Structure 1
Amino acid sequence: MKKNEEKPISIKLDRKKLKKSAKGNVRRNYIACIAVCFIMVFIAGEYGSTTQNVSSYDNAHVADLKYDAEDKEEIIEDMMKNDLTAEQVSDKWQINNPDAVTKWLESYKKYGVDGLNSKEVTFFGSSNDTSNFEALADAFSFSRNAKEKAQTYLNDRLNGFTSSVSVYFDNATSSNSYQFSLLTAITNVLSKKATWDTIVSFVYFLFQLAFTIFIVNVLLVCERRFFLENHTYKKTKIGRLGFLFRERTLHPAKTMFITSIYQTLWAFTIIGYPIKYYAYSMVPFICAENPNIKSKKAIKLSINMTKGYKWQLFKVDLSMIGWALLSGISFGLVGVFWSNPYTTAIDAEIYLQLRREAIRNKIEGYEELDDKLLDLDLLEELMAAETAENGGNPDIVRSLPVCTVTVPDEQENGGDE
């Protein structure tokens, strides 16, 4: 009986109610929500459903995503030696883009090999040198010849499988790109590539690592803060996207980095990754509410908050597939102008719901959820309960922890202070 009493009480997440509230929150502050998500696409590489659709469309026209400078040089030399047309080369080398071959030929004639080093990068798509998919393929290929044979085999039977999948894979793993750049550097060492290539790879890894920790991770937490405030305040301003930079704290960056390491380690178990993905999903929201929380406590609290809810969280994500498809057929426009902010607004609603249950049930670590003004509905509920218990003396406000993040009041419309 004691075990049952200690078990956290989980309720059913009402998807219709969550989505209705999220829609209302986005609509009443539509321009700011779009702008915040738009910034996150370009700076943080978030919202893969948008970038991958635009990139996959562009990938049909930009073969630079698939071939590096050495490949291009070999292709062009074969073209010139055997007097082949662009169409013949495209078919022979599985490029599926005669225009790209023509462009490479013109660049080669004008600038030589150096002209083949410049690559077009699509809408947050990555070129071959920085592709996560290519880094993974290189790591598992015993030789370049084996890799090319595998790619040709898949492309022949699955209509450009490797070139298409690389775009989706790159966007799905964009938040972990620094890990793949490290993999590339290690692969270069093991394959005994030129010293300069290895040095460049390690420098690029260090740059990506620093950018991810101090810019991307911080912005991800700031974005969550924006949408949490947007739930409570009528007109939260875009400037709230920089609240952590004004707070001058690195705790969230550290916490997000440690969380990504845990997720990477769990990815090796394959089966454990999706479970831990949802277990850690509340970490950025927890950091957005309490930037000074210790990393271990934030991760542990996220695990506690999501106990009994992982399957429901998966079903919420599953219910958003339709929007992903609409974003696909519209080349990402639906994502930019609606589904991106809508999806994050739903995540914010989920966090607030799980937060309420955590505080009501007083789960381990709930004291860290210390921003009493973040959810005014819950505050009113707790005040009413305290008033009833104390015979009309509502001292719940004094008993709650003090807010650690300055929150603008409604008179300032949720803007900057």
Structure 2
Amino acid sequence: MWKIRDLKKKARGTFKRNYVGIVITCFIAAVVMGSFINPLKEVRTIKDTYFDQLNGTVLFAENHNSDMSNTEVVDNFLGKSGEESERAQHWTRGVLSVFAKNTEGAGNFVYGVLNSINQIVFNDRVSAGVTIAIGSLIYLLIAILFTKVLLIGLYRYLLEIRVYTGTRISRILFPWSVKKALHIAWVMFVRSVYSLLWCLTIVGGFIKIYSYKLVPMIIAENPELSAKEAIKLSEDMMKGYKWRAFLIDLSFIGWDILNILTLQILGVFFLEPYKRMTTVELYMTLREKAKERDIENADRLCDKLLESEVTSGIYPINEYFITVPKGKKWILEDYERDYGLSSLILIFFTFAMIGWLWEVLLFLFTRGEFINRGTSHGPWLPIYGVGGTVVLIVLKKFRNKPWLTFLLSMVLCGVIEYFTSLILEKVQGMRWWDYSGYFMNFQGRICLEGLAVFALGGCAAVYLVAPSLDHLFCKIPMKIKKIICVVLVVLFVVDMAYSAFVPNIGEGITDNDVARIEIKKSDVLIASDFLLI
């Protein structure tokens, strides 16, 4: 018969060998799962969703008899005052400012987003009760489809790292990597329903907590098992061991008290990871016993790679008994290609013209008038061309990592936009754009909202637009392509030289909210400055 102290000793050994990785993954899981589950506690009873406790207003009806807007009713429902902080009062422009102000007002991300959509799309006409109901449903779906699935990913990581000390933290995404996330979500949902129903009995809930204790580890090992099979297997494996599992939990009571005294700090850096690893060791011990007893479906626990000796390597994914289906290739163009000089020149002008067309049409639809945007007079906005081509050239070795390309595109475009604005103000004495009032802006020269759009545009340029354009440009005879490039470059240089002395200014171009700075006449033209504009 195995002893509790031996089982916990094995857990401590694994924890000691892989302390940093285990603490980080357990912390990530705790934060993510807690962030989505805890807000459910803020949602009051169904009765309260029909009547606002503050003024008796029926929330599912329009608030005709109340001075509060639907958004303010939601904020009060969540126990928030809805008052803006001094910081939020400066967020007056942009879509992200609306989201940020509502999130801070509600003190809740999901309800902040719902309030923002209500204001932007529906002009705050959606009643507060509908917003609250939708928010509650979203939290329920997140809990079912994500948080419980992430728990399986955590246990998969812990199962692997007890043997393979080189296991990467990314293995916490195991359910999604094997394309079994929806099935796992269903299994965990069924387990939760069973547990809830047993809790309606006097002692059944307490017993079944331990009967179903091994389901997450079982599914982490073999995600192809059905909910019925996993639950039945857990019950059979725990038969005769539920009391000992209870004693294991009881053995941590001293640590639990100490955790309270340390304001939960001990739990983050030691206790919770220690408990998780002990549960994993309990599973592996009972897994071995189940095979010895030849219980039903014990042969389905067939990942023999988890039984290996401790090694410094990583889990050999290619030897996993489940074949992972290949994902669909969404990008058909060869985005890792090299671009010739002529193609880069044409791509630069294409991006610059697309940027000009985008801003002109934006003002045409919002103001109903044609406004030639930019510092120059030609049909191009060079900052778009520079941003697109720089992303193509500088980030070439990161193209196989889209998420990194996105982040680096944001940084590069931010640097280009910031210094372009700075140079223009120093040389020409005025600003062509100003982000003051936008959420997370810096000196009014750049803002998070704009950088996010530029980063998305950079990714679109790298993976879709530039490869397609290059494919098209390669069909143009080289002689004709060179002529086109020369003509465009000459026109561009002439325009930049003329615009240096006679910049494009006026209403809709330089009429920013900041105080005007008188145009300074510059005797010297720094051509390199204006090639970036």
The TM-score with structure 2 as length reference comes to: 0.43
| Equivalent in the alignment of 1:32 | 21
> Which amino acid in the other structure matches residue 217 of structure 2?
F
Asked if the contact 1:289/1:405 (under 8 Å) is kept, the reply is no
> Which residues of 2 match residues 304-343 of structure 1 at below 5 A?
304-343=236-275
Q: Does 1:289 align with 2:276?
A: no
Gaps of 5+ in 1: 1-10, 52-66, 75-100, 130-194, 379-400, 407-417
* CA shift digits 1:43-76 (9 cap, x unpaired): 1129x9xx9xxxxxxxxxxxxxxx99967899xx
User: 2: distance between equivalents of 1:206 and 1:373?
Assistant: 40
Helix, strand or coil at the partner of 1:262:
helix
Check if 1:240 corresponds to 2:155: no
1:182 aligned partner: none
Relative to structure 1, the CA distance from residue 279 to residue 24 in structure 2 (aligned partners, 3 Å threshold; closer, same or farther) is same
CA distance in 2, matches of 1:336, 1:268: 32
> Could you say which residue in structure 1 is the equivalent of 2:528?
none
| C-alpha contact (below 8 Å) 1:327/1:334 kept by paired residues | yes
Number of equivalences: 259
Residues 300-379 of structure 1: pairs in structure 2 closer than 5 A: 300-376=232-308
4+ long deviations beyond 6 Å: 67-74, 103-108
Residues 33 and 341, structure 1, Cα contact 8 Å, conserved in 2: yes
1:136 aligns to what?
Answer: none
Q: Deviations over 1:328-350 (max 9, x none)?
A: 11111101111111100000000
Distance in 2 (alpha carbons) for counterparts of 1:15 and 1:405: 36
Letter in 2 for 1:223: L
Query: Which of 175, 184, 201 in structure 1 is aligned with 2:132?
Result: 201
| C-alpha deviation, 1:317, in angstroms | 0.3
Task: Measure the CA separation in 1 of the matches of 2:320 and 2:270.
Answer: 35
Name the residue aligned to 1:118. Answer: 105
Structure 2: distance between partners of 1:105 and 1:301? 50
2:426 aligned residue:
none
**Distance change (3 Å), C-alpha of 1:315 and 1:73:** same
Corresponding residue for 1:255?
Answer: 187
Q: Does the Cα contact within 8 Å between 1:251 and 1:293 map onto a contact in 2? A: no
Alpha carbons 2:82, 2:106 under 8 Å: kept: no
In the aligned structure 2, how far is the partner of 1:22 from the partner of 1:105? 47
What CA distance in whole angstroms lies between the structure 2 residues aligned with 1:211 and 1:267? 23
Root-mean-square deviation (Å): 4.0
Distance in 1 of aligned mates of 2:264 and 2:225: 36
Task: Please state how far the C-alpha of 1:209 moved relative to its aligned partner.
Answer: 2.4
Can you list the C-alpha shifts for 1:171-206, whole angstroms capped at 9, x where unaligned?
Answer: xxxxxxxxxxxxxxxxxxxxxxxx934423331232
Q: Specify whether residues 205 and 377 from structure 1 end up closer, same or farther in structure 2 by C-alpha distance, changes over 3 A only.
A: same
Residue-by-residue CA offset, 1:326-376 (whole Å, 9 max, x unaligned): 111111110111111110000000000000000111011111111111123
Structure-2 change in CA distance of 1:201 and 1:362 (3 Å): same
Query: Which one has more relative contact order, counting CA pairs under 8 Å at least 6 apart?
Result: 1
Q: CA deviation at 1:107?
A: 7.0
* Contact 1:225–1:240 (8 Å) recurs in 2: yes
Residue 215 of structure 1: aligned partner: 146
One-letter amino acid of the structure 2 residue matched with residue 42 of structure 1? V
Instruction: Rate the CA distance shift 1:273–1:405 in 2: closer, same or farther, 3 A.
Output: farther
1:18-63 deviation digits (Å, cap 9, x = unpaired): 11111111111111111101111111129x9xx9xxxxxxxxxxxx
| Deviation, structure 1 residue 276 | 0.5
Letter in 1 for 2:159: L
Question: Structure 1: how far apart are the matches of 2:106 and 2:83?
Answer: 14
Determine helix, strand or coil for the equivalent of 1:45: helix
* 1:18 maps to amino acid: L
Deviation at 1:308, TM superposition (A): 0.5
Find the aligned partners of 1:346 and 1:120 in 2 and give their Cα distance: 36
Tell me the secondary structure at the aligned position of residue 248 of structure 1. Answer: coil
The answer to whether the 8 A contact 2:207-2:242 is kept is yes
TM-score under structure 1 normalisation? 0.55
Gaps of 5+ in 2: 39-47, 57-78, 90-100, 112-125, 311-318, 325-533
Aligned 8 A contact 1:19 1:346 in 2: yes
* SS in structure 1 at match of 2:105: coil
Q: Distance in 2 between matches of 1:275 and 1:281?
A: 10
Greater per-residue helix proportion = 1
**Structure 1 counterpart of 2:498:** none
Q: Where do residues 223-234 of structure 1 align in structure 2 (5 Å cutoff)?
A: 223-234=154-165
